[in-house]
Amino acid sequence: MPGPSAQDRPTPPPARWRAALAASLLMSVAALAACSRGEVTHVQVPKEPAAAPAAGGAMGGGMGGGMGGGAPPGMAGDVPPPPSPAGGAAMKWTLPKGWAESRSGGMRYATLKAPIPGKLDVSVVVLPGPAGGELANVNRWRGQIGLGPVDDAQLASARQRVKSPAGPISLYDFTSEGQQKSRMVAGLLESGGNTWFVKMVGDAEPAARARPDFIRLVESLRFDPATP
């Protein structure tokens, strides 16, 4: 019986098709072998871009700015500075010898400078109303130097009373833990619908040296437009 003519015989596939078919068969065999061994196939997934860090922080600006700043509860964010009290509502004090003061505006009523080298910041801030309340503000101050919050009973134990012509002042004195200690001495006074904060914060050693003068300044607080 005669075989098929050359016209009837199937045309062999091109060489590149045969090469592609062989490669596909090899990959299939390799995949089956991997599956049979229980191997894990790792897939690289592009990482998501890291979130941008939030602006501000524990040492950020806000009430008092600079060291130990941070707005009081309910005052964070783009809060415009309150109007500075004037006339009989303006706070005055007797500046200790060698100290300087400036009125730069913003959230601060005044910035005071003690003639003591080292990391130290003294500020006067006034806010309308209770400004979050005494307990919340004290706990915020404690948090700024790494201390935990206190409750009402502990707040009462930590509170000192300082008399001044402007009225009684609640004074707090906290020192952080650890080798590099920070200290904060801060007074709080409510008067005329405003809350005044007079705060000194810095490294423990310069804060201790400045403390006697700071206390005398707090004791001199007054509302007396007639006194320069």
Q: Compute the average pLDDT of residues 213-219.
A: 98
- Provide the percentage of residues in the chain whose pLDDT is more than 70: 62
Nearest to 136 by CA among 200, 82, 70, 77: 70
Angle at the Cα of 183 (from 180 to 186), degrees rounded to 5?
165
What's the rounded Cα separation, in Å, for the pair 180 and 174? 14
Nearest to 73 by CA among 139, 25, 29: 139
pLDDT band of 224, cuts 50, 70, 90: confident
Are 196 and 189 within 8 A, CB to CB? yes
Q: DSSP secondary structure string, 164-212?
A: -TT--EEEEEEE--SSS-EEEEEEEEEETTEEEEEEEEEEHHHHHHHHH
Q: 25-50, pLDDT tens digit by residue?
A: 555 444 444 434 444 344 343 443 33
194-203, strands of its sheet edge to edge: 100-102, 110-113, 120-128, 194-203, 182-191, 169-175, 160-162
pLDDT band of 195, cuts 50, 70, 90: very high
SS (H, E, C) 148-163: CCCCHHHHHHHCEEEC
Mean pLDDT for all residues in the chain: 76
Q: What is the pLDDT of residue 112?
A: 97
What's the rounded Cα separation, in Å, for the pair 134 and 131? 8
Taking the model in full, what pTM does it have? 0.66
Q: Which of helix, strand or coil describes residue 62?
A: coil
Structure tokens belonging to residue 96:
């200790």
Q: 143-159, pLDDT tens digit by residue?
A: 999 999 999 999 999 99
